[in-house]
Amino acid sequence: MKKFKTYYTLSGILLSAFFLTISCTKDFTELNTNPAGVTDEEAMGDFALVASFLAQAQRAILPENVGEYQASINLTSDAYGGYLAAEAPFVGNANNLTYALVPGWYSSLWVDRYIRAMNPLYRVETLTRADEKMQDIFAFAKVLKVSAMHRTSDKVGPIIYSKYNAPDENDQILYDSQEDAYKNFFKDLDSATTVFKSLKGKEVSAAMKKSDLAYASNNYDQWLKFANTLRLRLALRIVYKDPTLAKAEGEKALNPANGGLMETVGDNCFIKLSTDHPLNIITTTWSDTRMHANIESILGGYEDPRLGKLFAKATDEAVQGQFKGIRSGIEIDAKSRYDNYSKLLPLPNKMQLMVSSEAWFLKAEAALRGWTNAGDAKTNYENGIDRSFEMYGLGAQSSAYKSNSTRKPKPYIDPKAVKAGQNDIKEGSPLLSTITIQWNEADSKDRKLERIITQKWISMFPDGDEAWAEYRRSGYPLVFPVVVNYSNNTIPTVPGIRRMPYPEREYNSNSTAVNEAVKMLGGPDNGGTRLWWDVENKKL
């Protein structure tokens, strides 16, 4: 077996699970059984193996492994999307945050999404595709696959998807262009939703109950609503590049005959983890991440009560008693300088994949664009705020918040800044948003969109992948640019980094295919090349 095939076949996942110390140890026996010696009948007997594969995949969409979460999300998306910033000068301050991209960091997303998600999902699809009694599991695997792999594509561009585990005559696994990948995402969601719609009202299977780490599978409706909401997310992701396809897919998601969208807090999708949330360890045990300056500016300026549910006030003498964040991409001399700025409050041991508030904000944008069945933009926008406040037990404060027409993001000042120019974002600066909270029907469509995306950004916390993707897609909310840029002029300071490069392992073992993927990008394999859907001149 050649090197690349080993990496992408199921034996690769089992070896990797051992050597990379996957945290899901309670399923060690099942996960490390050699599938070559397991018959389909044995695998399907009590659904233990299938459930283990699906558990591993669910926990790899956003990795529960702390080191991989830090490298692939916290030190990329969380910072680029304006949620969290590092207080440590990693690699002499020449790292992802200052655009000196570290290969060992960005390659980690390949480990989670391919070795720990795509591999077991491929096996589950193979086992269940032709089994009429297991079509719910087949559909479930499809939804999980799209959930994982759209995040990968949204970080790098073209990905291995439709040709996965199908090497060509030269033992290369070919990539889909990002356009083709998205079309395949929609096709896989078609397959999944068709199955889930056919199962509405039917008793949930034992296999599904054993495999579902989010809803405990009381019925099939919630995964159907999740899949529809995911379709709407992806439809709007491509709206500036392919508005016709976006509208068709978006209206399919919005059509009530197709099962509806996530609506209530009870629809929120959180994957149960087998260990503590990685951000808790990164925040406390490792003391490596703090609140981002953009959170301070936006939520602080709005006097948003959710801020106190997310972060603790700073204990540093210079800013004691304040919610104080760090601007990402600045000069940092020592970790101790910012260690006592605002820490993230402990998160429960479950991973947020999608919340119902996002669905309402997606509907608000769809309504702004005039899509069928999207409803009224203002109503959807306000429902999104309501659902987010309810999630934090703040429902009683939502009405006053929604009616405020004067509060706006506040200037950011860092009294401990090392370098001039990184500590002061003043009133009137083009870097500081002026968007208010209350819906204003007289505003332009672009200003309404900024209002929708800004509130969606707040509600999706701490999902940095989505925050960064939506910033690149829409330009909102305004994220403070880096001050220190060590990219050698490959990444623009404004509007900022656009993607992550392909990992070295692809160039070493799948070189012909990855070089063709770079051609599909239309630019060099660096952080400055825009993705297919990332249109420079956006028109609503």
pLDDT digits (tens, 9 = 90+) for 3-38: 333 334 333 333 233 323 333 223 323 333 334 345
Q: Which amino acid is at 211?
A: S
Following DSSP, what letter does each residue of 249-267 receive, concatenated? HHHHHH-GGGT----SGGG
Dig out the tokens for 363 from the structure: 């509907």
pLDDT tens digits, 334-385: 999 999 999 999 999 999 999 999 999 999 999 999 999 999 999 999 999 9
Backbone φ and ψ for 150, nearest 5 degrees, come out as: -70, -30
Task: Give the pLDDT of residue 42.
Answer: 55
User: Burial, 241: exposed, middle or buried (Cβ in 10 Å; 0-12, 13-18, 19+)?
Assistant: middle
Task: Give the pLDDT of residue 539.
Answer: 80
Cβ neighbours around 42 below 10 Å, total? 12
Question: Closest Cα partner for 283 from 354, 353, 338, 355?
Answer: 338
Task: Give the pLDDT of residue 502.
Answer: 97
- pTM of structure: 0.93
Task: Give the pLDDT of residue 52.
Answer: 95
Question: Closest Cα partner for 117 from 189, 48, 31, 56?
Answer: 56
Task: Give the pLDDT of residue 129.
Answer: 95
Task: Give the pLDDT of residue 524.
Answer: 98
Q: Beta 84-85 vs 424-425: how paired, if at all?
A: unpaired
DSSP state of 393: T
Question: Closest Cα partner for 119 from 110, 131, 128?
Answer: 110
User: Burial, 209: exposed, middle or buried (Cβ in 10 Å; 0-12, 13-18, 19+)?
Assistant: middle
352 Rama sector, left if φ>0, alpha if ψ -120 to 50, beta otherwise = beta
Question: Closest Cα partner for 292 from 338, 226, 232, 256?
Answer: 338
Task: Give the pLDDT of residue 213.
Answer: 97
Task: Give the pLDDT of residue 218.
Answer: 79
Cβ partners under 8 Å of residue 41, min gap 6: none
Question: Closest Cα partner for 268 from 394, 395, 402, 387?
Answer: 387
331 in Cβ contact with 94 (< 8 Å): no
Which residues of the chain fall short of a pLDDT of 50?
A: 1-37
